[in-house]
Amino acid sequence: MIGEYERPAASPGGLRLHLNENTAGCSPRVLAALQELTGEDIAFYPDYAEVERETAAYLGVPRDHVVLINGLDEGIFVTTVAVARDTVTGHSPVRPEVIVPLPAFDMYGVTTRAVGGLLVEVMPEPGFGLPVNGLLAAITPRTRLVFITSPNNPTGVRVSLDDIDRVASALPPEALLLVDEAYHDFCGDTALPLISSRRNVIVGRTFAKGHGLAALRAGCLVAHSSTLARIRPIVPPYSLNVCAAAGLRAALADRSRLAWYVAQVDRSRTLIYELCVRLGLTCWRSGANFVLLRVGDRASEVVERLAARSIFIRNRSSEPGCEGCVRITAGVVEHTERCLAALEEILCAEP
Ligand SMILES: *Cc1c(COP(=O)(O)O)cnc(C)c1O
């Protein structure tokens, strides 16, 4: 059985702090760009020349180092299909291995299983730093793909470029390392400086989180052109629809909107840390737009009681190392304040 991606429910109109979405909505310029689309724009197959050029310029890389995709989930999927598909035939059974340090984003396991790869999970270390030694020990001649999320989801913990480089340098020749930078905007960390020297490194970005385009679906893979040559044949030719392409151009151009939102996230993270200090709860410093905190045995009760007030956060208790933990999206400050006031009330009330 291939597990399905989990889609937690939230009632409409509630405070959605469970999926790390942009709680302010996208830039108004994105909506204006969508309104400007003509009937012909919709009727014709999309042309990506401008959006590709502008995305590459935004990232500071040559245009042939970027592949636009229908959200980073698709980037994870096409990369897995490209290098970790089970093509075992005849007498040389070598099942491709995919290494994932835990706790991790669901999609890596879902896609690995879907393409018949063997999922190799590496257990977390205290503090949730990248388990470099565990990763190095898990590498075999059959390793085809390693996923590193920087900063990680659900912990928010940042990963050093050195650690990424150490793993990249230890991989067998055919293997790739996908650095998932879904939350890059909220800390600035990036492995992009590695992609010219390490031809086995691919950086994945999404415009769902910082830029608020989760429902439009837009992301990209960034790597050396010779590396992307292995991926391009798998990407559907019109993967990005015309609305996403137009919306992405508008979102990238609105840099002040992103800067404003990043500042909101930064303040919201601080508010969550302060509450944890006040209540004596463990939490982890986050480079992302969420914070993981340990509320203990009452994690599911807390999540349910908040949901009863239409405030949605995510129970992460079942993830390795995350016993008793919940994850709260840190977005617009006013939203964070509402959530934290309710959380404090629930935690301080008698169970
Ligand atoms: C949200 C998220 C994604 C998915 O991005 P989409 O562009 O919405 O598909 C990928 N990786 C991680 C770690 C995420 O948290």
Q: Check whether 16 has a pLDDT greater than 60.
A: yes
Q: Which residues line ligand 1 (CB under 6 A)?
A: 20, 71-73, 105, 149, 153, 180, 182, 206, 208, 214, 219
What mean pLDDT comes out for the span 254-265? 98
pLDDT of residue 92: 53
pLDDT tens string 111-165: 999 999 999 999 999 999 999 999 999 999 999 999 999 999 999 999 999 999 9
Kindly report, residue by residue over 47-70, the tens digit of the pLDDT. Answer: 999 999 999 999 999 999 999 999
What is the 120 CA–ligand 1 centroid distance (Å)?
A: 21
CATH dotted code for 15-24+256-346:
3.90.1150.10
Least confident residue range of 3-12, 17-26, 267-276 = 3-12
- pLDDT at 351 (0 to 100): 64
- pLDDT of the residue at 86: 78
* Residue 54 burial by Cβ neighbours in a 10 Å radius (0-12, 13-18, 19+): middle
Task: State the span(s) of the chain assigned CATH 3.90.1150.10.
Answer: 15-24+256-346
Which are the contacts of 162, defined by CB distance < 8 A and separation ≥ 6?
Answer: none
- The alpha carbon of 145 and the centre of ligand 1 are apart by a number of angstroms equal to 18
Predicted local distance difference test score (pLDDT) of residue 13 = 81
- The CATH number of the structural domain formed by 28-253 is 3.40.640.10
Q: State which of 7, 16, 72 you would mutate to test the pocket of ligand 1, scoring each by most atoms of that ligand within 8 A of its C-beta.
A: 72
Number of Cβ atoms within 10 Å of the Cβ of 110: 19
Mean pLDDT across the chain: 95
Task: Tell me which residue has its CA closest to atom 14 in ligand 1.
Answer: 182
Question: How far does residue 345's CA lie from ligand 1's centre (Å)?
Answer: 32
Domain span(s) for CATH 3.40.640.10 in the chain: 28-253
Alpha-carbon span 63 to 126, nearest angstrom: 40
pLDDT grade, residue 255 (50/70/90)?
A: very high
Token representation of residue 180:
């998932």
What pLDDT score was predicted for residue 12? 77
CA of 40 to the centre of ligand 1 (A): 31
Q: Ligand 1 mean position to 181 CA, how many Å? A: 9
Mean pLDDT of 228-238: 96
CA 214 to ligand 1: nearest atom: 8
Phi and psi based region of residue 324 (left: phi greater than 0; alpha: psi -120 to 50; beta: remaining): left
At residue 154, the pLDDT reads 97
